[in-house]
Structure 1
């Protein structure tokens, strides 16, 4: 990391500039360049289809509850089934679909398999959406049906 002094308003300000040749600097510039494009131009047609499939998988309330159960800590099929009031076979079926959609991952510990979300993007999106729904609950009477 390189630092430089610049004069602003009569005083010197020390600014840290990442080294341009560093791997981290290159990665940051690439990410910034990609994120400056509009969202619809950053994805190929196949990637757009993959994203739509992810949202389709999350649109089923039981699958969404399973995903949310995996958000904080690894959990087994049996524990998930008990906590969600679903049959273990139904939970297993949904888990298979969610793993194929790359929304959750499996981790074997001895003779048990635990499911969790390891992708930080997925974790952030879901956490943000949960926070959004939780904070908007009852705001401005949105939950009430307007009467005429």
Structure 2
């Protein structure tokens, strides 16, 4: 395991989460934009040097944090698409969790204006109410979610709405 790389990931993920919390509390997202851009640039370099930052390289927590940085790289869709391909292989090799692939798949699809597959992405509707982004084949949504280790869509929706109410 590369402990230095794992420590870098942990530091960056901690900054990521702190900036998101500050934005929720203050409405000021300037730190968030800067941190996401810095993390995206760092992640590109780390991937170029090491390939996907999987479990055997950075541990389970590090792999989770690498996914988090990719998930939040919304201003770099090319990076997210690159990571999506790497995650597909990493999941097949046991180096990443299937839920990470599900979340990033949905994130990339929604950014491209397409329906999501796993129902993980939400948006604010007019009036500020949280709602799920469009989902392909909604009748099979819970089966797809279960296949990657996610809770039911109804339970996830309940959690998302509780979290949204707490953020207000």
**TM over 0.5, shorter chain:** no
Relative to the length of structure 2, the TM-score reads 0.24
Relative to the length of structure 1, the TM-score reads 0.26
Higher share of residues assigned strand:
1
Max Rg structure? 1
